[in-house]
Amino acid sequence: MTSPHTPDNPLLAEWTGAFGLPPFASIAPEHFRPAFDRALAAHRAEIDAVAENPEPASFDNIIAALERSGRDLERVSNVFFVLAGADTSDAIEAVEREISPLLARHSNALYLNPKLYARIANLYGRRGGLGLSPEQARVLDRYHTRFVRAGAALDKSAQDRLAAINERLASLGTQFGQNVLADEKSYVLLLEEGDLDGLPDFARAAARAAAAERGAPGKYAITLARSSCETFLQFSARRDLREKVFQAWIKRGENGGVTDNRALIAEMVELRAERAKLLGFESFADYRLDDQMAKTPAAARELLDEVWRRARAKAAAERDSLQDIVAGDGGNFPLAPHDWRYYAEKRRKAEFDLDEAEIKPYFQLDRMIEAAFETARRLFGLTFTLVAVPLYHPDARAWEVKDASGAHVGLFIGDYYARASKHSGAWMTSLRDQEKLTGKVSPIILNVCNFSKPAAGESALLSFDDARTLFHEFGHGLHGLLSNVTYPLLSGTAVPSDFVELPSQLYEHWLEVPEILQAYARHAATGEPMPKALLDRLLATRTYGQGFATVEYTACALVDLDLHGRRDPTALNVTEFERERLAALNMPAEIVMRHRLPHFQHLFSGGGYAAGYYSYMWSEVLDADAFEAFAETGDPFNPAVAQRLRDFIYSAGNLRDAGEAYKGFRGRLPSVDALLKKRGLADVIV
Ligand SMILES: [Zn+2]
């Protein structure tokens, strides 16, 4: 184990801060490149030693040795990518562009090392006689699969080509994400008081704070952070301004010039298809899904098609009712995409006597954080205590997590406010993952969101959707915090991507459980709980607008599978392809994909969800069915069900095949019925 003590570089010195946190205050962007260089070299030497080891191959001298290796690299990478996502800068972005092909090259050196693969293949061939524990057998199996899927069994010329493809893809993915961020940062719609027709107080306050942050005090700024522009689209009575904001939002990555992503997409799709072919698959989607719970694109598509037909029918009915409101208001225009959210909000208000401005004061950020904690206490016995530790940004906060016996579980960091240095979206990540191979290592888990920051002294208010996002990311967080495995490879969220959304999406259900909502949804000004009648109306709207939401999402998942399912994706015209596929799907003209291809970061910024955006729906089948397990007992916190959930899902990492894990929890595989019911699509006639 190398751990060079280099006092001049805080990234390479042992992190001795509270809870093992890195010394953020003394880390500067210029520390990263040399730290990466040294950590990469050290890991390379470790890998070579494992590959060249003259001893006969054993689980310990290959698999466990690899699992123990690369610790400096992991620490440097973890802190770097936390900053690159949540608090980036020109200097960090420059390092990111430099380092991403180097990391890809490094990964190639590991997975395409012929001596190393020969030793793993030898061990794998003898696996039945090695006396391995179930977890060790799983780790060996995963290593073997990973090496084969990376091309370790191919000939040298194919491997050289794969290596070049991987490096190029890494660079393109980095550039893609930076281009989207650049388009988001460069756009701001600065408004005067008189332009705010329809905006409720909370939206005015957020816009005012955003303008002040951008050096325009007294004005109102609408930005392309989702919470800013979606709120504006929902409330602004100014059709002209809604159109402006909406156009900027859907054109991210498609504005011509240096930040245009279309050429990058064409190249990435082509390279991915070529890689899949080299590895013996017909398309990238076939390659990708082979190692997922779904196994084949056909299985994923079957689910999406089932949902799509119903969602389109439901969205058509929603559109008609919105068009009626337009006519009723004296409007003489067909409903456009930039009108949908505005009229949907009006209809919601009319039909359920419910408007966002009435609800929002009840969803204070800090109370919702407490609600997420309380849910974890009731399900898993966890407690959370705010601790004062130096972090990378003053808006980030940390809580120590303990179990029912008072033992330390890990550290949870919540970084909830939008800012210009943060990528859009919401995500969970980690500074350190749980494992027991090198002693008892506790996790340091982050949730990063983009909620509008309130003016000084005021409490941040969330929409119900924002609150759901908070619970979602916290569910991922628990998947990391509760992890209880020995080997790092299997830790926490290291599961197939069509399974990884189960812990997060399942957790969203508890936000809607009355004893959580009633206790934690309290008015920001009066402290009063949400009146029962309002709560009932809020919960009654759960399936409201699901036609729109399901179409907006499912179109993305289908276009993703189409794009990555192409066998010959040469000469791709991205705009044309997207238009043609949506036409083939009969996409409603009034709805735009939730993520259009030029800014579809799930697919192209790193590529974690390439040919995998269906995963959210796949996981939703699981989460809807899984929550039924609690509903069936009449107790949303049923201790026996919660224990099984912890054993087989939240603490189990990748110990088992995803289908086996689910069966362990539920006793059977899920059916799609609970999902259709949850989305209000069960009774739709198609
Ligand atoms: Zn998620």
How many Å apart are CA 533 and CA 275, to the nearest integer? 57
Tell me the CB-side half-sphere exposure of residue 534, using CA atoms within 13 A.
19
Q: Is the pLDDT of residue 334 over 60?
A: yes
Query: 569 pLDDT band (50/70/90 cuts)?
Result: confident
- pLDDT tens string 618-654: 999 999 999 999 999 999 999 999 999 999 999 999 9
CA of 429 to the centre of ligand 1 (A): 11
- pLDDT tens string 75-128: 999 999 999 999 999 999 999 999 988 998 899 889 999 999 999 999 999 999
pLDDT of amino acid 500 = 95
Mean pLDDT of 477-503: 97
Q: Which amino acid is at 601?
A: Q
Q: What percent of the chain has pLDDT over 70?
A: 99
Chain CA centroid to CA 383, Å: 25
Angle at the Cα of 603 from the Cα atoms of 431 and 510, rounded to 5 degrees: 60
pLDDT of amino acid 5 = 44
Tell me the CB-side half-sphere exposure of residue 448, using CA atoms within 13 A.
21
CA of 472 to the centre of ligand 1 (A): 6
How many Å apart are CA 462 and CA 87, to the nearest integer? 22
268 to each of 316, 439, 543, 679, how far by Cα in Å?
35, 41, 37, 34
Query: 216 pLDDT band (50/70/90 cuts)?
Result: very high
CA of 616 to the centre of ligand 1 (A): 8
pLDDT of amino acid 454 = 87
* Type and span of the H or E element at 286: helix 284-290
pTM: 0.88
- Who has greater pLDDT, 72 or 606? 72
Mean pLDDT of 197-223: 93
pLDDT of amino acid 559 = 98
pLDDT of amino acid 54 = 95
How many Å apart are CA 343 and CA 237, to the nearest integer? 10
How many Å apart are CA 530 and CA 359, to the nearest integer? 8
How many Å apart are CA 276 and CA 256, to the nearest integer? 30
302 to each of 296, 309, 684, how far by Cα in Å?
10, 11, 18
CA of 55 to the centre of ligand 1 (A): 43
Mean pLDDT of 229-238: 96
pLDDT of amino acid 2 = 35
pLDDT of amino acid 3 = 41
Residues 6+ apart with CB under 8 A from 468: 508, 511
CA of 83 to the centre of ligand 1 (A): 19
Tell me the CB-side half-sphere exposure of residue 474, using CA atoms within 13 A.
27
Edge-to-edge order in the sheet of strand 408-417: 383-387, 397-402, 408-417, 444-451, 427-432
Q: How do 397-402 and 408-417 pair as beta strands?
A: antiparallel
CA of 117 to the centre of ligand 1 (A): 33
Write out the two tokens for 647: 């054993």
Q: What is the largest CA-CA distance in the chain?
A: 83
CA of 602 to the centre of ligand 1 (A): 11
CA of 610 to the centre of ligand 1 (A): 15
Torsion angle, alpha carbons of 96, 260, 555, 670, to 10: -10
676 to each of 68, 186, 537, 584, 624, how far by Cα in Å?
45, 40, 21, 24, 9
CA of 427 to the centre of ligand 1 (A): 7
CA of 221 to the centre of ligand 1 (A): 29
Query: Catalytic amino acids?
Result: 473
DSSP assignment, residue 397? E
Q: Is the pLDDT of residue 6 over 80?
A: no
Would you give the end-to-end CA distance of the chain in angstroms?
A: 62
pLDDT of amino acid 356 = 75
Write out the two tokens for 76: 């440097």
Q: Is the pLDDT of residue 140 over 80?
A: yes
CA of 611 to the centre of ligand 1 (A): 16
Closest-CA residue to 493 (of 507, 478, 479, 475): 479
Torsion angle, alpha carbons of 93, 94, 95, 100, to 10: 80
pLDDT of amino acid 449 = 96
Q: Are 593 and 560 in contact (CB under 8 A)?
A: no
- pLDDT tens string 286-314: 999 999 999 999 999 999 999 999 999 99
Instruction: Return the axis-axis angle of helices 71-86 and 32-52, rounded to nearest 10°.
Output: 140
CA of 590 to the centre of ligand 1 (A): 27
Query: 537 pLDDT band (50/70/90 cuts)?
Result: confident
How many Å apart are CA 463 and CA 454, to the nearest integer? 13
Q: Is the pLDDT of residue 229 over 60?
A: yes
Q: In the block, which residue shows the tokens 């179409």?
A: 551
Query: 358 pLDDT band (50/70/90 cuts)?
Result: confident
Query: 7 pLDDT band (50/70/90 cuts)?
Result: low
Which range among 117-131, 427-441, 457-471 shows the weakest confidence by mean pLDDT? 457-471
How many Å apart are CA 461 and CA 470, to the nearest integer? 12
Count of CB atoms within 10 A of residue 438's CB? 12
Mean pLDDT of the chain: 94
CA of 332 to the centre of ligand 1 (A): 40
CA of 163 to the centre of ligand 1 (A): 30
CA of 103 to the centre of ligand 1 (A): 25
pLDDT of amino acid 536 = 87
Residues 6+ apart with CB under 8 A from 83: 92, 392
How many Å apart are CA 100 and CA 172, to the nearest integer? 9
Closest-CA residue to 505 (of 585, 622, 402): 622
- Please spell the DSSP secondary structure of 406-419, one letter per residue: S-EEEEEEEEEE--
